[in-house]
Amino acid sequence: MNTPARLTLALCAALVALAPARAAEPELLRILGEDKSFVIQTPTGPMTITRTMTPCAKNKGWLQPLVPVAGVHPVGEIEILGALNDKDAIVVDMRESEDRVKGTIPNTVSIPYTEVAGRMDELGCKKVGKGWDCTTAKKVYAFCNGPVCPQSPTAILAMTRDGFPADRIYYYRGGMLDWEALGFPLVKGDF
Whether 69 is covered by a domain: the verdict is yes
* Domains in the chain, number: 2
Q: What is the rounded average pLDDT for all residues in the chain?
A: 83
Same domain membership, residue 153 and residue 64? yes
Asked if 98 and 125 sit in the same domain, the reply is yes
Indicate if 43 and 72 belong to the same structural domain.
no
Residue 163 lies in a domain: yes
- Report pLDDT for 42: 80
- Clarify whether residues 169 and 89 are in a common domain: yes
The last residue of a domain, from among 7, 38, 53: 53
- pTM, rounded to two decimals: 0.77
* Burial zone of 142 (CB within 10 Å; 0-12 exposed, 13-18 middle, 19+ buried): buried
**In a structure prediction context, what are the per-residue pLDDT tens digits for the chain, which is 191 residues long?**
444 334 333 433 443 344 444 456 777 777 777 888 888 888 888 888 887 766 655 667 777 878 899 999 999 999 999 999 999 999 999 999 888 888 999 999 999 999 999 999 999 999 998 889 999 999 999 999 999 899 999 999 999 999 999 999 999 999 999 999 899 999 897 65
Range of the domain at 48: 24-53
CATH number for the domain spanning 110: value is 3.40.250.10
My answer on whether 69 and 130 are in the same domain is: yes
Is 77 in contact with 178 (CB distance < 8 Å)?
yes
Phi first, then psi, for residue 8 (nearest 5°) are -65, -45
H or E stretch at 15: helix 3-18
